[in-house]
Amino acid sequence: MAAVLRALALALGLGSVYAAPTQNGLTAISDWGENPSNLVLQLYEPPKVAAKPAIILALHFCGGTGPVYSEYTKYQPYADAQGFVVLYPSSPKDNNCWDVATTKTLTHEGGGDSNGLANMVKWAIAKYDADPAKVFVTGSSSGCMMTNVMIATYPELFTAASCYSGVAAGCLAGSPGSSPQSADPFCASGQNIKTGAEWASQVRAMYPGYKGAYPRFQTWHGEADNFVNYPNLGEQLKMWSTVMGVPFTENRTDTPTSGYTKIVYGDGTKVVGYSARGVGHMVPVHEEADLKWFGLL
């Protein structure tokens, strides 16, 4: 728990870069393929891997690492029960934040962090003979920002995404960095407001010529988040509801629990949001809700 608290302190800009914690049953992988931005990969492999297992890419917050995020989340018991594999990569630069600002990472096969993460996923699919229809991505804060980027730049790899306290793909485009210490604050402060059509055009420019479907998208945000400000929830929902062509349908209060409002688009199978009353940065991970969204529960 101390490791998690130190990582959360840095996520809020309160500490120095945290070194690697206890490995928490993870296995370090060094030969997963081309690694253009020097990322690190560790994974959780359950005692018995299912035939054609699911793969979850889980992305840490600023100041964190893959092992820290494996402690912060509780996906492993479900992996043990169902036999799926969880990838916990780490970004070693810019205060341990994912690069969500450069042209390289905001471009399909561009040679940035998104490219390296996609290569990890492809390696895992091949290694475990995974079901390509059961590949998912999730993350918190910087990890949610990168989740948005991953489904924009590599939509063919993922079936669904669920993430917490992030921003729309490309919100930080052109910023000098992606961390609280290096980034232009315009995006995180909730001032980067665009129309759905503008966001959708930005997504399509990240993978020119892509004609396939985009992953189902679920995102969570605290109404009291003054670090990655609350308007970023609406911008994510505008982006992905426009990309997928699903209009707003309804709000469902006290769903999935008291104080949360579920924001439904279309029939609720492609895009949903969750607004958390009184919650700041970051929204607690709802593992069961994530796995239900992924179709694993």
- Annotated catalytic residues are 141
Collect all residues with Cβ–Cβ distance below 8 Å to 252 and sequence separation of at least 6.
261, 262, 264
253 three-state secondary structure:
strand
Collect all residues with Cβ–Cβ distance below 8 Å to 31 and sequence separation of at least 6.
none
Q: Is the dihedral of CA 195, 192, 73, 35 positive or negative?
A: positive
| Alpha carbons 145 and 102: distance in angstroms, whole number | 13
**Dihedral class, residue 291 (left if φ above 0, else alpha if ψ from -120 to 50, else beta):** alpha
Provide the edge-to-edge strand list for the sheet that holds 27-29.
Answer: 27-29, 40-44, 85-90, 55-59, 135-140, 160-164, 216-222, 271-276, 260-265, 248-253
